Amino acid sequence: MKHESLNFKKMAPSEIIHFLTDKHYPALIQLAEQLNIHLPASVKVNTSAHLPLDEIEKEYRKLVSLVKGQIKKHTRILFPFLDNVLEDGKVPSEVLSDLEIEISEIHTRHMQMRTHLAMLSSLSNNYTPGPNSSESMKVAFAELHSLELQLYRLFYIEDVLLLPKISKLTFCRESIPGMRRIPRSV
């Protein structure tokens, strides 16, 4: 996924949101789907490998569950809500605490994902397949490494660029007609 030429620092929050929902999230899901095929296949083929392949696969599944859950929540609830709010440029006071809680939960989920990524890196010897590994193992490890890079890019975009911009929005005291609280679940 090439987006090094994009200047996220100059992008408005709504532009970052649309980049994430239109480009980055679909690419992450596609990579996860490829890994859902390649990783189990490589585990079956490389039964005598020197790495704990079953543990790597379990750790990967935990990570992907978190990633997919966050993407689902963002694309179905948080980002559509923020798009509506960003049109006006103000966050009504009745949703301010919900937004602050959601931002805190995003940071928490990112920390959990970082923990799983560190465990995957450690278990896989920094995504280095053994000398006698099959091509499927080499592909799976390259995809795991790519997933790690894409997730760290996501953390940077959300934690450093998007969420601080959202936190700086003007908060208004009055209610906005039709504005509802952020739902707590997907």
Identity of the residue numbered 64: V
Q: What is the pLDDT of residue 171?
A: 54
The tens digit of pLDDT for each residue in 172-185 reads: 544 444 444 455 55
Q: What is the pLDDT of residue 176?
A: 42
The tens digit of pLDDT for each residue in 66-103 reads: 999 999 999 998 888 888 777 766 666 677 778 888 88
Tokens of 11: 């992008």
Nearest residue to 119 (alpha-carbon basis) of 93, 139, 142, 148: 148
Average pLDDT of span 107-122? 96
Q: What is the pLDDT of residue 178?
A: 46
Instruction: Report the mean per-residue pLDDT for the chain.
Output: 84
At residue 46 the predicted structure's pLDDT band, cuts being 50, 70 and 90, is confident
Q: What is the pLDDT of residue 26?
A: 96
At residue 132 the predicted structure's pLDDT band, cuts being 50, 70 and 90, is confident
Average pLDDT of span 150-157? 96
Which one has a higher pLDDT value, 120 or 91?
120
Tokens of 93: 């006071």
pLDDT of 4 over the 70 cut = no
Q: What is the pLDDT of residue 3?
A: 54
Predicted TM-score (pTM) of this structure = 0.85
Q: How far apart are the first and last CA of the chain?
A: 27
Q: In the chain, what percentage of residues exceed pLDDT 70?
A: 83
Tokens of 142: 């390259």
Q: What is the pLDDT of residue 8?
A: 87
Q: What is the pLDDT of residue 169?
A: 67
Can you say whether the dihedral through the CA atoms of 50, 118, 110, 3 is positive or negative? negative
